[in-house]
C-alpha cells in the first residue's frame, strides 16, 4: 500500500480502511478480534462440527423410520429408531380418542386459530365479527370434543390423550387463569385489609408449594371437599389446579406492572373524580397489563410446559403415551427417541409463544426510541 499525505485542513473523501467493513471486516471483528476470541471461535466451531455431524447422522442418515421392533431397527441401521414414534403417531396426537371421531379434534384445533386470531393480532380485518366467534368458541369446542349434543357421540375423558390433551389443558388453564390472576393482583393492591390478606395468603400458598403436590391433591383429595357423592372428572380437577397455580404467578407479574405505574396517573384519575372501577378499567389495567406482557407470556409458557406433570397422576399426555410405548417389550429402551420427539413438540410450541410475546412487546411499545 502506498502511503499518501494530505495537506492540513483538507478532508478527501476516502473509502474506509480495509478490514473494517464487508464480509472480511465482519469476520475479523466478530470472530477473530483477539487471540482469546480466535481461540473461542475455533473451539466453538469444533464443537458445532461434532454436534451437527452427530445429530445429522443419528437423527436422519442412520435412522430407521419403520420397523416392527427395536431389535429389527438395530438390524437395519445404527441410528435413531423412529419406528416407535411412526407406529404410534395417532396415539401421540389424539390419545385413545376413537379413530372415526378424530375429525372433531382436527376441526376444533383448526378453528382455535380462527378464534385466537382477533385476540392475538389487533390489526386483523373484520376483527369485530371474529371476536364474536372467539366468545362462543369455548362452548363450540366443548360440544365438539366432548360430544353428547347434536347427535355427536359422547367421548369419555379417559380416552383423551397425546398432544391434544396438552393443548386442551394448556389452553383452558391459560384462558381461565388470566382473569383470576387479574382479580388476585387487584386484591393484593386493595385498600381493604380483609381482601388484601386473603389474596396474599392464596398467592403465597400457591407459589410456595410444588405443582405436583397440588396435582396429588386434585387426584386424591379434592373429592373429599365436595358434597358426598359428587364425582367430577379428573380432567376438570386438574384444570382447576392449573388455573389456581398459574393465576398466583400471573397475579405477581401484574402486581409488578401495577406498581410500575407512576403515582401521577392515579392522582390525575382521582382529580377527575373517577370511581375505583373506572380507575381500574381505564387507568390501571391498560397500563399494567401492557408492562406485564413478557411476564404473563412467560407464565403461560411455564403453565404449558407444566401440563406434562399430569403424567404423574396417570393422565396420558404425550409423555404418558411415550412411557406406555416404552413399557412395551418391543420398544423397550428407546427412551431417547421417544422423549426427544416429545421435547421437539414442546420446543416448537413454546418457542413460537416466546417469539409472539417479543413481537407483541415491540408492537405495544409506544416509547420514543
Partner 1 sequence: MNFLNTIWRNEKSREIIVQIFVLFCIGWILSWLIANVDANFKALGKDISFEFLFIPAGYDINQYLIDYNNRDSHLRAGIVGLLNTGLVAVFGIILATVLGVFLGIIRLSKNWLASKLAYWYIEFSRNVPILLHILLWHGIIINTLPHPKKALNLGDLTFLSNRGFYIPKPLTENGIELVYLFLVIAIIFAVLFFKYARRKQDLTGVQYPVFWINLSVIILLPTIAFFISGMPISLEIPALRGFNFRGGMHMSPELAALTFALGIYTAAFIAEIVRAGIMAVDKGQREAAESIGLKPSKVMNLVILPQARRVIIPPLTSQYLNLTKNSSLAIAIGYMDLVATLGGISLNQTGREMETMVIVMLIYLSVSLSISAFMNWYNNKAKLVGR
Residue 28 and residue 16: Cα distance in Å, rounded? 15
The verdict on 74 binding partner 1 (CB under 8 A) reads no
93 or 310: CB nearest partner 1: 310
Toward partner 1, which CB reaches closer, 98 or 314?
A: 314
Cell of 266: 392515579
Site for partner 1 in 203-242 (CB under 8 A): 204-205, 207-213, 216-217, 220-221, 223-228
What distance in Å separates the CA atoms of residue 161 and residue 300, rounded to the nearest whole number? Answer: 21
Q: Count Cβ atoms within 10 A of the Cβ of residue 112 and give its class: 0-12 exposed, 13-18 middle, 19 or more buried.
A: middle
Q: Read off the DSSP letter of residue 30.
A: H
Touching partner 1, residues 162-201 (CB under 8 A): 191-195, 198
C-alpha cell at 283: 387507568
In the complex, minimum distance from the CB of residue 156 to partner 1, in angstroms, rounded to a whole number = 25
Burial class (CB in 10 A: 0-12, 13-18, 19+), 247: buried
State the nearest-atom distance from the C-beta of 101 to partner 1, in Å. Answer: 28
What character string, x for contact with partner 1 (CB under 8 A) and - otherwise, covers 16-45?
Answer: -------------xxx-x---x--xx-xxx
CB of 15 to partner 1, least distance (A): 24
What whole-number distance in Å separates Cα of residue 171 and Cα of residue 250?
15
The cell 416429545 sits on which residue?
342
127-146 helix and 102-120 helix, angle to the nearest 10 degrees: 150
CB nearer to partner 1: pick between 288 and 334: 334
Q: Which of 19, 20, 24, 47 binds partner 1 (CB under 8 A)?
A: 47
Stretch that binds partner 1, among 130-138, 168-176, 286-294, 336-344 (CB under 8 A): 336-344
CA distance 269 to 287: 13
Binding residues for partner 1, rule: CB under 8 A, are 29-31, 33, 37, 40-41, 43-45, 47-48, 191-195, 198, 204-205, 207-213, 216-217, 220-221, 223-228, 301, 305-306, 308-309, 311-312, 319, 323, 333-336, 339-340, 342-343, 346-347, 350-351, 354
Amino acid at each position: 500500500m502506498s502511503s499518501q499525505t494530505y495537506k492540513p485542513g483538507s478532508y478527501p473523501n476516502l473509502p474506509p480502511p480495509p478490514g473494517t467493513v464487508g464480509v472480511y471486516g465482519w469476520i475479523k471483528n466478530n470472530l477473530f478480534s483477539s487471540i482469546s476470541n480466535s481461540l473461542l471461535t475455533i473451539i466453538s466451531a469444533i464443537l458445532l462440527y461434532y454436534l451437527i455431524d452427530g445429530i445429522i447422522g443419528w437423527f436422519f442418515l442412520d435412522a430407521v423410520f419403520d420397523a416392527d421392533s427395536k431389535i429389527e431397527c438395530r438390524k437395519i441401521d445404527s441410528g435413531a429408531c423412529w419406528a416407535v414414534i411412526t407406529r404410534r403417531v395417532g396415539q401421540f396426537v389424539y390419545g385413545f380418542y376413537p379413530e372415526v371421531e378424530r375429525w372433531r379434534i382436527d376441526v376444533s384445533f383448526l378453528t382455535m386459530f380462527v378464534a385466537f386470531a382477533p385476540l392475538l393480532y389487533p390489526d386483523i380485518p373484520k376483527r369485530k365479527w371474529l371476536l364474536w366467534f372467539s366468545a362462543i368458541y369455548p362452548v363450540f369446542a366443548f360440544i365438539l370434543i366432548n360430544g353428547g349434543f347434536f347427535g355427536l357421540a359422547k367421548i369419555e375423558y379417559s380416552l383423551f390423550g397425546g398432544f391434544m390433551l396438552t393443548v386442551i389443558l394448556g389452553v383452558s388453564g391459560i384462558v381461565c387463569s388470566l382473569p383470576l390472576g387479574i382479580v388476585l393482583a387487584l386484591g393484593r393492591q386493595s385498600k381493604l385489609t380483609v381482601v388484601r390478606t386473603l389474596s396474599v395468603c392464596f398467592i403465597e400458598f400457591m407459589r410456595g408449594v410444588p405443582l405436583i403436590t397440588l396435582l396429588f391433591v386434585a387426584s386424591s383429595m379434592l373429592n373429599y371437599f365436595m358434597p358426598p357423592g359428587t364425582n367430577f372428572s379428573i380432567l376438570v380437577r386438574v384444570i382447576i389446579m392449573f388455573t389456581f397455580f398459574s393465576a398466583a404467578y400471573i397475579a405477581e407479574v401484574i402486581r409488578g406492572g401495577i406498581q410500575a405505574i407512576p403515582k401521577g396517573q392515579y392522582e390525575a384519575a382521582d382529580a377527575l373524580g373517577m370511581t375505583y372501577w373506572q380507575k381500574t378499567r381505564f387507568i390501571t389495567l391498560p397500563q399494567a397489563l401492557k408492562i406485564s406482557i413478557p411476564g404473563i407470556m412467560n407464565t403461560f409458557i411455564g403453565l404449558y410446559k407444566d401440563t406434562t406433570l399430569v403424567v404423574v397422576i396417570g393422565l396420558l399426555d404425550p409423555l404418558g403415551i411415550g412411557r406406555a410405548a416404552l413399557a412395551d417389550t418391543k420398544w423397550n429402551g428407546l427412551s431417547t427417541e421417544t422423549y426427544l420427539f416429545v421435547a421437539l413438540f414442546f420446543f416448537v410450541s413454546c418457542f413460537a409463544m416466546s417469539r409472539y410475546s417479543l413481537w407483541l412487546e415491540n408492537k405495544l411499545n409506544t416509547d420514543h426510541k
